[in-house]
Amino acid sequence: MRPAPTILTNKILMSDIRRTILWVIFGFSVVLLWDKWQIHNGKPPTFFPSATPAAAPEPQRGASAGPSASPGSVPPASSQAAAPGAVPGAAAVPAQGTGPQVHERVTVETDVYRLQFDSEGGTLVFAELRKYADMADKAKGFVLFDQSPTRVYLPQSGLIGGAGATSGLPTHKTPMNLMPGPRTLQDGQNTLSIRFESPDLGGVKLVKTWTLKRGAYDMVVRHEVLNTGSTPVAPQLYLQLVRDGNKPPGESSFYSTFTGPAIYTEAKKYQKIEFKDIEAGKVDVDQSASNGYVAMVQHYFASAWLLPQGAQREFFVRKVDNNLYAVGMLAPLGTIAPGASQAVEARLFAGPEIEKTLEALAPGLELVKDYGWLTILAKPLYWLLDHLHKLLGNWGWAIVALVVLLKLAFYWLNAKAYASMAKMKAINPKIMEMRERLKDNPQQMQMEMMRIYREEKVNPLGGCLPIVIQIPVFIALYWVLLSSVEMRNAPWIGWIQDLSSPDPYFILPLLMTVSSLLQTALNPAPPDPMQAKMMWFMPLIFSVMFFFFPSGLVLYWLTNNILSIAQQWLINHRMGVPLRLNLPKFKG
């Protein structure tokens, strides 16, 4: 029984799955490009709507927490923009029985940080990472935490009431006294402490001590609660990260990484939370656990509140204000008798997403460096890339070496694919002659084509499996290079001084485009003339994205193309099939 014409047509159309894969990538890339172009021109995204655009934060007059211990009782974050010499929300929580207080900001410096603390709540309101340059002005450090007219991103902590509380307790909006002490980490000194003391509120006093360590991006924040009243109290400590819903400044319009809150517990593992899901009330997280953390994630950098393992905690996420969102934890302090005290040491991580550092701080914290669904492949690839960097001393050459190792690992799979393509190319003249001879008889042409494949022992799908197997590996490597903060401001050679930024002279993207066109010319021409023409347009259109991609990603793709061309030439040479260029024919 002869196969139906439709079945034969499908087999012919699947003769080169590599082209099909490229079509899929091309189509998806066009969608992404259009969506980013809409955003770039100030229009709402067409295909991938994001969180509500930034609006000017409204001044908020929040009061201290009431007696409820639910997440909703956490005092609202101050969203008022800071002005010189002024402190947001200064009148929100008047000090009781202490008279007027002057709020002050103090600058603290370590070898890795330049920080500003506000005596309102003893809150960290500014954090500059001195060892990571700002992309717009490399003379300045990268700013993570900030409170300005255009940006709000803050860590906050304080107390909410429990049993025995009769009035408001010290919160992140309570004016506190800054204790005297050094403000700069001196040579030979490994730690530096900043201490704040609240007034007596509701029979409770809060002493908040920040301890900074040399070379570390995690700070110990000790919260000591003193019961100065005459009755027992059972307050709860809240730790929250508050951020506006905007993408980080300078984020590329041609590739997008996750920005937003995240929660980790051993039960539900790592959960990213979109700002739009908080808006819609579609967040489903563990209500309580004795492990886990809350984090705020963006490209290359993250912050996270950490509590000791085994300490009970309750998680919450919420929309605070117009364009502000919070993720946090509540920790019960137990009953504190009159005259007694209770202390909890939390840690605040605020720094780069370096896997080794994150792994050492808390279980699962390394997951804030997001590789997506290919984490199982990406982590060993990063491990290998890191070891190659230690050996070669340059991240650019480490990328080249990693691609070389991957090509060697997949050599025999690629050999089968290129051998199949070489056979297809060898019989291509016979196929083209047959198509021209039988162009008026499609059914006979299809049958004749299958006969030629059978006699020449050519499998049209012979190049499918080797290519499909490798796709997840190279996508995982793409995410490794895109997510690794080590690429930021890392030089390669000559004009490439930052592997995380686009090539300033577009040399790598141009070479990548030429290599892609050369690959197209070396592949067998599709029998369909229209498809053959489109195969030449695809590399050109697809390469447009690479002019805006980080140099490290373009270097990886260019290296892969060059090695693929070299291997294809070697295999064709061994098979005795000349490597000829199939140049485009746009006439007719």
Q: Write out the DSSP string of 514-576.
A: HHHHHHHHHSPPPSSHHHHHHHHHHHHHHHHHHTSS-HHHHHHHHHHHHHHHHHHHHHHHHHT
Q: Write out the DSSP string of 73-117.
A: GSPPPP-SPP-TT--TTTTSSPPSSS------EEEEE-SSEEEEE
The per-residue pLDDT for 586 is: 52
DSSP E strands in 135-217: the ranges are 141-143, 146-147, 152-160, 177-178, 191-197, 204-213
Helix (H) or strand (E) holding 341: strand 341-352
**Do residues 357 and 351 touch, judged by C-beta distance below 8 A?**
yes
Q: Write out the DSSP string of 400-447.
A: HHHHHHHHHHTHHHHHHHHHHHHHHHHHHHHHHHHHHHTTT-HHHHHH
Nearest to 253 by CA among 37, 547, 26, 41: 37
The per-residue pLDDT for 13 is: 36
The per-residue pLDDT for 80 is: 41
Query: pLDDT digit of tens for each residue in the chain (588 aa)?
Result: 444 443 333 333 344 444 444 444 545 554 444 444 444 444 444 444 443 333 333 333 333 333 333 444 566 655 443 332 332 332 233 333 333 356 789 999 999 999 999 999 999 999 999 999 998 888 899 999 999 999 999 999 999 986 444 458 999 999 999 999 999 999 999 999 999 999 999 899 999 999 999 999 999 999 999 999 999 999 999 999 999 999 888 776 666 789 999 999 999 999 999 999 999 999 988 889 999 999 999 999 999 999 999 999 999 999 998 899 999 999 999 999 999 999 999 999 999 999 999 999 999 999 999 887 888 999 999 999 999 999 999 999 999 999 999 988 888 777 776 677 667 767 777 777 787 788 788 888 888 878 877 777 776 655 566 667 778 888 898 899 999 999 999 999 999 999 999 999 999 999 999 998 888 777 666 656 666 666 677 777 778 888 888 999 999 999 999 998 888 788 777 767 666 666 666 554
Which SS3 state, helix, strand or coil, does residue 342 take?
strand
The per-residue pLDDT for 531 is: 64
Q: What are phi and psi of 78, to 5 degrees?
A: -75, 125
Distance CA 139, CA 120 (A): 30
Nearest to 500 by CA among 36, 217, 138, 26: 138
Q: Show me where the domains of the chain are located.
A: 5-23+382-575, 71-370
The per-residue pLDDT for 309 is: 93
Q: Which fold has domain 71-370?
A: Beta-galactosidase; Chain A, domain 5 (2.70.98)
Quote the distance between the C-alpha of residue 59 and its chain's center.
31
The per-residue pLDDT for 88 is: 32
**Do residues 171 and 201 touch, judged by C-beta distance below 8 A?**
no
Tell the residue number behind the tokens 């309570």, with chain if given: 174
**Stated pTM of the model:** 0.78
What is the 3-class SS of 49-84, one letter each residue? CCCCCCCCCCCCCCCCCCCCCCHHHCCCCCCCCCCC
Classify residue 493 by its DSSP letter.
Answer: S
Q: Please report, for the chain, how many H helices and E strands are present, in that order.
A: 12, 19
The per-residue pLDDT for 578 is: 66
Nearest to 245 by CA among 312, 296, 189: 296
Distance CA 516, CA 536 (A): 9
